[in-house]
A and B are shown apart, each in its own frame.
Chain A
Amino acid sequence: MENKNTPLLEEHEDLKAKIASFGGWNMPIQYTSIITEHNWTRENCSIFDICHMGEFMIYGDPVQTGIDNILTQDFKNADDNTCHYGFMLNKNAGIIDDVIIYKIEKDKFMLVVNAATTVKDEQNLMDNLHSGAIIENISEKTAKIDVQGPMSADVVEQLAGAGIRDLKYYRFGFYNVLGENVIISRTGYTGELGFEIYIKTEKAVELWQTLLKDTRVKPAGLGARDTLRLEMSYPLYGHELDDQTTPYEAGLDRFVDMDKDFIGKSKLQENTKKKLCCFVTDSRRSPRHGHKIFKNNKQIGFVTSGSFSPSIGFAIGMGYVEKKEDEINNEIVIKDDRMQINAKIVKRPFYKQGTFKIELA
């Protein structure tokens, strides 16, 4: 199947981005250099084209329509304008996708899903929603640009007004941007203060260009997005999460509400066979997805993500190990056919200076 393009592809080409395939989309990997873009995001403000992600509108009472039973998070009694991270699970408690549900008002929700999983997510919704539910896939007509970095509030304020400073972490509102009524949430995937702007597709280029006129703003690609999220030990679907892995195994118990019923709940305990761990190496050499994890010459797991960490100065990674081997300070060895790297299991996140929860004045 041919790759899809976001409405911003020409912008990326004009900026001389390296384009590569990601989740069935042609996406910018870097414009200048991954490390430069990474550091700019930690210190200033970057914008990311995230138009590839999927969005669904869901209408109806969450319990009666079944959406409450499809998602693990507790959101049905939440306040309006709140975001809730959690999972869609299969019957074996394996993760179909990790998603954020936006509660817009009573009986009106927006579900934001990963790009590569949009089709199977839609199928899962169709299979499990009851007949009273109304669901609309708005992915095509919705563009998403992430604005991330300690200066992002100042940047977004120029576009959306001072009200943006009242947004608390994991909340959203409707704002007038370029003459459109758009959703802006205080969310992100970098560990820095940040906002995600949902705007209609026809307006994506204008929003992108307007943001770039601000000298504090530079574009960043998926390369930096990956190193930024890894330093925060945020999971990436297809690496830390997949349909053979449960939220408990991924250490994401707090996004699972055990006080309600949901698909996969009964298998959560018994299907916990491995544990996600974070490790720091003593080298600049990077562990990579698929490398093996050893302890005392015995394989105990495998790497799911790894990279040189620009903020820490050493290579870091995440991976699954046998259930009781995930203890902090456990010393492990990462190997592939021709090399090995010494590493130690550490607490998450790797990067502790992130501004994502900062109070805005």
Chain B
Amino acid sequence: MKLLFTKEHEWVKVDGKTATMGISDHAQHSLGDITFVELPAIGAVCKQSAQIATVESVKAASDVYAPVSGKVTEINDEVEATPETLNISPYEKGWICKIELSNKEELSSLMDQAQYDEYVKGL
């Protein structure tokens, strides 16, 4: 399944109506050691580009934005106890939550891997 990315360095992977999201490898690398993750509540309604979670590294706290609008159906509460999972496995074990998409058309505003890599290079 292919990954799509936001300019704020979240990724999303869509399977039918469900989008799994997290932060990109570039994001985890820039933040450094991640020491805390605040997850959204299951059932929370999120809007594309609005804050959905918080991650903290030793040096700073950063907002995580929803890559798509919808309803949170699942959260990865394992990362609460082991936030470093976001460093070690940002695209697999370090996922943050699953969102039931409310508007599939929003996906067209996201970047694919090649576009995102190009975008990161230009930063």
Contact = CB atoms under 8 A, between A and B. Distances in A.
Interface string B21-65: 000000000001101101000000000000000001011010000
Contacts of B33: 33-36
B56 A286 contact: yes
A29 B56 CA distance: 17
Contacts of B56: 284-286, 308
Interface residues of A, number: 18
Contacts of B32: 18, 30, 33-34, 223
Contacts of A34: 32-33, 58-59
- For chain B, the bracket of interface size reads 10 to 19
Nearest to A308: B35
Secondary structure at chain A's binding surface: helix, strand, loop or mixed? mixed
A224 to B, nearest CB: 9
Interface string A1-40: 0000000000000000010000000000110011110000
B70 interface: no
Given A30-B32, A223-B32, A308 B61 contact: no
Interface string B87-117: 1000000000000000000000000000000
B67 interface: no
B15 to A, nearest CB: 31
Nearest to B87: A33
B36 A223 contact: no
Contacts of A30: 32
Interface string B78-89: 000001000100
**Residue in B33, B38, B56, B61 with the greatest tally of chain A CB atoms within 10 Å:** B33
Contacts of A33: 32-33, 87
Interface string A285-321: 1101000000000000000000110000001000000
A36 B84 CA distance: 12
A69 interface: no
A19 to B, nearest CB: 13
Q: Give 6 nearest A-B pairs by CB, closest first.
A: A308-B35, A284-B36, A35-B33, A34-B58, A285-B36, A33-B33
